[in-house]
């Protein structure tokens, strides 16, 4: 296993980390805990969980597994979403108790949506409470996770509050987030990427993404992971693990790891444009919208519909779990056409917006 320094935290984390949001049968705590032990035996030392993952069972699963491992052999992270200072404290204490540790190595202010959300978290006292907990030793390092566009997230990181950041980054959405990765690197802030396989959509669409194999000579999963880790600011790719095969595949991808060279990266970037034919790249050029519709988030959710082969549940999950916005916002569209004129992919945005509420209502 490859280990990388995680920003200025002084820790070395495994280049593949274990995301605890996809256990196959979370009700079977012992089988799920055994999966964590298997990953640990393969060299994975960074384990990520959160309250509410897997029907709120994930932290208990990790607690069961981690109690059986030497404390200095793993690093664990959990999170707290939108909360007041008091609520964050209660959430943290519950996580400590469930995970069976005295200190959370990496504690995330979870899911920052936009600059206004960041501002309201600060004003609500959550950041202050987290920093106090860090002084008490209940938290090792304070980090944030976010789905914000790269430049806006970079401004949050510039405030020097966070030691690390967890963000969605993969061979498909990197233009949208790359600015944040690069700024984090400049500030010495550790970067862990989530969703490196785009929620499984990359391996599920081998034809569309065959260019990954052609250019790199790697299979799809190793190619997608190596793409992330080829960026020098990225320390680890967080992979949602459901089976031993997931672990084996991710660990194998790190054997004799070498980053892609600049020619390969340029080719990947060029080919991504073709793979995105008919898809939103998340570039954000369609904004602003006079009706205040977050068009890139809606078009990203429509991507899910295309890439999943029309599965309404996939779109609904994207709205509910990832973006946390209501598809009904699409009804605000006044069909002014401004976004379509600016869209770099020439997408039929108005038509797709009209479709999306139905695609989720009947999921
Ligand atoms: S067409 Fe609709 S979504 Fe696009 S900019 Fe106008 S109001 Fe916004
Ligand atoms: S809708 Fe078009 S312009 Fe807007 S983010 Fe997607 S690809 Fe870019």
CATH at 55: 3.20.20.100
User: What pLDDT is attached to residue 361?
Assistant: 61
Ligand 1 centroid – CA 198 distance (Å) = 27
Please tell me whether residues 72 and 156 are part of one structural domain.
yes
Nearest CA to ligand 1 atom 6: 336
Count of domains observed in the chain: 2
Residue 15 within a domain = yes
165 band by pLDDT with thresholds 50, 70 and 90: very high
Residue 362 reports pLDDT greater than 60: no
Final residue belonging to a domain, choices 268, 285, 315: 268
Please tell me whether residues 210 and 105 are part of one structural domain.
yes
Residues with beta carbon inside 6 Å of ligand 2? Answer: 280-286, 295-296, 299, 342-345, 347, 349
User: Residue range 34-51: average pLDDT?
Assistant: 97
Please tell me whether residues 351 and 225 are part of one structural domain.
no
The 8-class DSSP code of residue 253 comes to H
> Is the dihedral angle over the CA atoms 306, 241, 48, 50 positive or is it negative?
positive
User: Residue range 252-264: average pLDDT?
Assistant: 87
User: What pLDDT is attached to residue 6?
Assistant: 95
Nearest CA to ligand 2 atom 7: 280
As a whole number of angstroms, the distance between CA 327 and CA 310 comes to 16
Nearest CA to ligand 2 atom 8: 283
Range of the domain at 344: 295-361
Mention every residue, 6+ apart, whose C-beta is less than 8 A from residue 257: 2, 15, 226, 229
Locate the ligand 2 atom nearest the alpha carbon of residue 300 and give its number.
6
pTM, 2 dp: 0.79
Please tell me whether residues 300 and 260 are part of one structural domain.
no
Residue 203 reports pLDDT greater than 90: no
Please tell me whether residues 313 and 258 are part of one structural domain.
no
User: What pLDDT is attached to residue 363?
Assistant: 45
Q: What is the DSSP string of 308-349?
A: TTS-HHHHHHIIIIII---GGGGGG-----HHHHH-TT---H
Please tell me whether residues 337 and 236 are part of one structural domain.
no
Please tell me whether residues 199 and 307 are part of one structural domain.
no
- Report the range of poorest mean pLDDT among 16-25, 37-46, 244-253, 255-264: 255-264
Please tell me whether residues 263 and 301 are part of one structural domain.
no
Ligand 2 centroid – CA 253 distance (Å) = 32
336 CB under 6 A from ligand 1?
A: yes
Q: Model confidence over 66-112: pLDDT tens digits?
A: 999 999 999 999 999 889 999 999 999 999 999 999 999 999 999 88
Nearest CA to ligand 2 atom 4: 286
Q: How many CA atoms lie within 13 A of 17 on its CB side?
A: 32
As a whole number of angstroms, the distance between CA 302 and CA 174 comes to 18
Quick one: which ligand is closest to 335's CA?
A: 1
Residue 277 within a domain = no
Please tell me whether residues 87 and 148 are part of one structural domain.
yes
Residue 278 within a domain = no
Please tell me whether residues 18 and 143 are part of one structural domain.
yes
Residue 208 within a domain = yes
Please tell me whether residues 249 and 116 are part of one structural domain.
yes
Please tell me whether residues 221 and 341 are part of one structural domain.
no
Mutate to test the pocket of ligand 2, among 282, 289, 356 (most ligand atoms within 8 A of CB): 282
């Amino acid at each position: 296993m490859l280990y990388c320094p995680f920003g200025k935290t002084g820790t070395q984390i495994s280049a593949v980390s274990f995301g605890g949001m996809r256990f196959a049968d979370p009700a079977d705590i012992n089988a799920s805990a055994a999966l964590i032990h298997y990953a640990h035996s393969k060299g994975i030392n960074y384990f990520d969980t959160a309250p509410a993952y897997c029907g709120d069972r994930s932290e208990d699963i990790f607690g069961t597994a981690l109690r059986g491992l030497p404390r200095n052999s793993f690093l664990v992270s959990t999170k707290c979403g939108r909360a007041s200072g008091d609520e964050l404290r209660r959430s943290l204490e519950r996580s400590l108790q469930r995970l069976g540790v005295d200190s959370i190595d990496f504690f995330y202010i979870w899911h920052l949506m936009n600059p206004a959300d960041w501002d309201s978290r600060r004003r609500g006292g959550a950041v202050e409470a987290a920093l106090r907990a860090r002084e008490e030793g209940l938290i090792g390092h304070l980090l944030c996770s976010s789905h914000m566009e790269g430049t806006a997230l970079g401004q949050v990181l510039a405030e020097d509050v966070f030691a690390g950041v967890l963000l969605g980054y993969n061979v498909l959405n990197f233009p949208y987030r790359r600015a944040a990765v690069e700024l984090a690197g400049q500030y010495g802030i550790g970067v862990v990427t989530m969703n490196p396989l785009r929620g499984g959509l990359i391996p599920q669409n081998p034809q569309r993404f065959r260019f990954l194999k052609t250019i790199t000579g790697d299979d799809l999963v190793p190619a997608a992971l190596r793409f992330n880790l080829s960026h020098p600011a990225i320390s680890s790719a967080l992979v949602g693990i459901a089976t031993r095969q997931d672990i084996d595949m991710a660990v194998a991808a790190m054997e004799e790891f070498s980053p892609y060279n600049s020619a390969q990266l340029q080719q990947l970037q060029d080919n991504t444009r073709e793979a995105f034919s008919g898809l939103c790249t998340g570039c954000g050029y369609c904004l602003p919208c006079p009706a205040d519709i977050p068009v890139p988030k809606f078009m990203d959710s429509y991507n899910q519909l295309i890439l999943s082969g029309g599965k309404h549940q996939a779109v609904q999950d994207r709205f509910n779990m990832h973006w946390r916005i209501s598809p009904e916002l699409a009804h605000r569209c006044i069909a002014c056409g401004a976004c379509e004129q600016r869209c770099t992919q020439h997408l039929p945005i108005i038509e797709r917006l009209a479709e999306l509420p139905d695609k989720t209502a009947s999921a």
